[in-house]
Amino acid sequence: MEKILMSLSWSLGVLGLVVLFATASSVHAITCRDAIMALMPCQKFLMGFAFKPSAPCCSAVGNVTAAANTTQAQRDLCTCFEMAGPALGVMPDKAEQLPQLCGVTVSVPIDPNIDCST
């Protein structure tokens, strides 16, 4: 348990650094920082500490997706996830499962392995 708490604390510290160095550009209605903070309820699931996403996590996924309502906003958000995911210890398989488990159609995959240039 102590190891898990230490890992989560470390991840939150890394999140702070990622937010500082991540793209500061606005994702139109949502910034990279705001998107990452909104998805914090998903952290336990995305890091493999929970078997399924929580209701607040699924709600956040829908809200973040809705905020990225233009092509440019979706590209910016994709780049945000591409940069932040690995730094936060996001497990790619968990990120890939998240929309389906939440029953949400996403315009931007929450996947650290995604290539945002396409």
Please write the tens of the pLDDT for every residue from 36-85: 999 999 999 999 999 999 999 999 999 999 998 888 888 899 999 888 88
| Number of domains the chain contains | 1
pTM of the predicted model over 0.75: no
Query: Residue 72 maps to which CATH number?
Result: 1.10.110
Domain membership of residue 52 (yes or no) is yes
* Structural domain range at position 82: 2-102
* CA–CA distance, 62 with 23 (Å, rounded to integer): 22
**Residue 34 CB-half CA count within 13 A:** 16
Tens of pLDDT, residues 74-106: 889 999 988 888 889 999 999 999 999 999 998
Element (H, E) at 31: strand 30-31
Buried b (16+ CB within 10 A) or exposed e, 8-20: eeebeeebeebbe
Domain membership of residue 95 (yes or no) is yes
Q: How high is the pLDDT of residue 13?
A: 42
Domain membership of residue 113 (yes or no) is no
* CA–CA distance, 33 with 15 (Å, rounded to integer): 9
